[in-house]
Amino acid sequence: MKRIVLDKKFQKYLFEKLLKKFDQDKLTKKLGVNSASIYHMKNGRINSIDLRVFGKIQKILGVTQEEVASNTIKIISRDEILKGLAIGRSVRTEQLKKWRREIPSLEDLVEDERLNLEKWFYSYRKLMDFGSRQIIDIKKQNNRLIMTYTNYSNGRKKRFTNTLPRKISIDKRFQYFFGLWCGDKAGGGRIGVANKAIEINLLTERHLENLYQKPVFQMLLSSNEKKIPDVGLKVDEIVRVKNMPGDYVMVIFAVNSILKSFFNYLLENLDKFLSTLPNKELFFAGLFDAEGNVSLEDRYFRWSCKNMKEVEIYKKHLSDLGLFKRYDGSSLITDNREAFLSKIYPNIINKAKINRINLLFFDDGYLEDRFKSILICINDNPGRTVQEINNMFSRKKMWPQLKFLHGCEYLRKEGYPMKLYITNKGLQEIGREGR
């Protein structure tokens, strides 16, 4: 395979003529290249053209051999291209490594319980300008850093404006939000959180606004769902997802890959960052609202995590708080009720998780439907044994669920083998409406 390197101006002239003659889709088919390549070749971002593609261009436009000869810089082979790419890649890699080493340490960015994002940004921008994104203007407005830059979108170079906070206060709100983000972060160049709980979605909206971002409410909806659920929130976008676990999830985000990169920087320095937090129990409260669970059956508290690097960091800092007992391969677990109720419980906002804790420890709250269905079954079938009730359900952990209901006095046991009966408290629960 050989490629031709043309004079830049001549190459641009050829593609401008082609795009006047054909629209983008038609030209893509005629040349047999993707649409993005056409604009990259027109703008000189692709320095060489496949000779077979150039032959088609020459035929379409009637370019003479004399024109080709006078505007050809060289013909290169595949081996030369690969060698040049390897050299260029090596140079770029070393340059990027050098600039990454110049990014300030986390200790240098923490000033009076604030994160100096501006200091980080002026080092990080070298990595940005090295790629397709080019910053053309930066303005300071109070605590805002407003930048204008160019980047490619759908094959075309476009101008964008983005805003960053110059400094971020490491206050209680931010410590909680960062923990929430670590557990439920949105993907891509978006800064935000994916969660079903309306209270978490509204908090995410407020926090993004505090960071000078414009939140978008996106619903990821299973393609199997016929009806759009009423989530009690404004929904800006609905995206149908195939093979989605569950029915839907809300993603509250702002498109800001630079701010996302700063959050990723904090995540890369997570151990040091947690050590600097004045109230790291707030971080773990946010992480619990995202990835935590309180098991009614075994009375343990869990933080789900399978990233082993993060697991080791969480183990260390949860231990400092008296909140780590063991790791079971998927979750960090504690049974320290006193420490959890004094440090984590007051700072969580997920209503479903608060309800579970209230049920276990404060004789308050309402039962979930899985427990309520057991009470209804016992009420309809009084005096049945544990095994007989168990046989009526195709469910795991049935015995621990019955044990929980008995411990909370929703049912009572009599005789041997034990027979189950609903209590007045249980009757009140199954008659409860509108939770």
Q: Rounded CA gap, 16 and 38, in Å?
A: 10
For residues 69-96, give the mean pLDDT. Answer: 64
Contact 24, 38 (CB under 8 A): yes
Contact 239, 262 (CB under 8 A): no
Residue 344 lies in a domain: yes
Across 1-10, 98-107, 165-174, 414-423, the highest mean pLDDT is recorded for: 165-174
Which helix (DSSP H) or strand (DSSP E) does residue 233 occupy? Answer: none
Q: Rounded CA gap, 20 and 134, in Å?
A: 28
User: Of 116, 147, 167, which one is at a domain's C-terminal end?
Assistant: 167
- The CATH number covering residue 342 comes to 3.10.28.10
For residues 271-297, give the mean pLDDT. Answer: 95
Task: Name the band, by pLDDT with cuts 50, 70 and 90, for residue 417.
Answer: confident
Residue 318 lies in a domain: yes
Of all residues in the chain, what percent carry a pLDDT higher than 90? 51
Residue 37 lies in a domain: yes
User: Of 116, 136, 167, which one is at a domain's C-terminal end?
Assistant: 167
Q: Rounded CA gap, 123 and 116, in Å?
A: 12
Asked if residue 298 and residue 278 are part of one domain, the reply reads yes
pLDDT score for 155? 56
Asked if residue 76 and residue 9 are part of one domain, the reply reads yes
Task: Name the band, by pLDDT with cuts 50, 70 and 90, for residue 79.
Answer: low
pLDDT score for 387? 86
pLDDT score for 192? 96
Residue 7 lies in a domain: yes
The boundaries of the domain holding residue 13 are: 2-80
Residue 329 lies in a domain: yes
pLDDT score for 415? 84
Bond prior to 400 in cis (omega within 30° of 0): no
- The CATH number covering residue 59 comes to 1.10.260
Asked if residue 395 and residue 353 are part of one domain, the reply reads no
**pLDDT tens-digit readout, 153-180:** 665 677 888 899 999 999 999 999 999 9
> Tokens 């081996």 — which residue?
79
To the nearest whole number, what is the mean pLDDT of the chain? 88
Q: Taking each helix axis from N to C terminus, what angle separates 308-320 and 280-291, rounded to the nearest 10 degrees?
A: 130
**pLDDT tens-digit readout, 121-135:** 988 877 666 556 678
The rounded Cα 339 to chain-centroid distance in angstroms is 29
Q: Rounded CA gap, 146 and 136, in Å?
A: 11
DSSP structural state of residue 247: S
pLDDT at residue 114 above 80? yes
Find the range with the poorest average confidence among 116-130, 223-237, 288-302.
116-130
Compute the residue count for the chain.
435
Asked if residue 110 and residue 36 are part of one domain, the reply reads no
pLDDT at residue 57 above 60? yes
**Tokens encoding 325:** 């007992």
Asked if residue 381 and residue 349 are part of one domain, the reply reads no
Asked if residue 388 and residue 357 are part of one domain, the reply reads no
Q: Taking each helix axis from N to C terminus, what angle separates 280-291 and 172-184, rounded to the nearest 10 degrees?
A: 30
**Tokens encoding 433:** 């409406």
Asked if residue 417 and residue 394 are part of one domain, the reply reads yes
Contact 192, 166 (CB under 8 A): no
For residues 226-241, give the mean pLDDT. Answer: 91
Asked if residue 349 and residue 413 are part of one domain, the reply reads no
Contact 207, 250 (CB under 8 A): no
Q: What single-letter amino acid sits at 374?
A: I
Q: Rounded CA gap, 324 and 334, in Å?
A: 5
Pairing outcome for strands 411-414 and 419-422: antiparallel
Q: Comparing 92 with 394, which gets the higher pLDDT?
A: 394
For residues 284-295, give the mean pLDDT. Answer: 96
Residue 142 lies in a domain: yes
Spell 165-177 as b/e; 16+ CB within 10 A means b. bbbbebeeebbbb
Pairing outcome for strands 216-222 and 156-165: unpaired
pLDDT at residue 91 above 50? no
User: Of 167, 190, 218, which one is at a domain's C-terminal end?
Assistant: 167
pLDDT score for 154? 60
Q: Taking each helix axis from N to C terminus, what angle separates 24-31 and 35-42, rounded to the nearest 10 degrees?
A: 90
Contacts of 379 (CB under 8 A, 6+ apart): 422, 426, 427, 430
How far apart, in Å, are the Cα atoms of 292 and each of 105, 263, 305, 318, 344? 30, 21, 9, 13, 11
Q: Rounded CA gap, 238 and 234, in Å?
A: 11
Residue 248 lies in a domain: no
Cβ atoms < 10 Å from Cβ of 7: 13
Asked if residue 398 and residue 332 are part of one domain, the reply reads no
Which residue, among 345, 335, 327, has the nearest Cα to 288 in the 3D structure? 345
pLDDT score for 87? 46
DSSP per residue over 271-313, as a string? Answer: HHHHHH-TTHHHHHHHHHHHHEEE-TTT--EEEE---HHHHHH
Contact 130, 117 (CB under 8 A): no
pLDDT score for 195? 95
Which residue, among 146, 280, 263, has the nearest Cα to 204 in the 3D structure? 263
Domains contained in the chain, number: 4
Residue 259 lies in a domain: no
- Phi, psi of 91, deg, nearest 5: -65, -45
Cβ atoms < 10 Å from Cβ of 292: 23
Asked if residue 67 and residue 20 are part of one domain, the reply reads yes
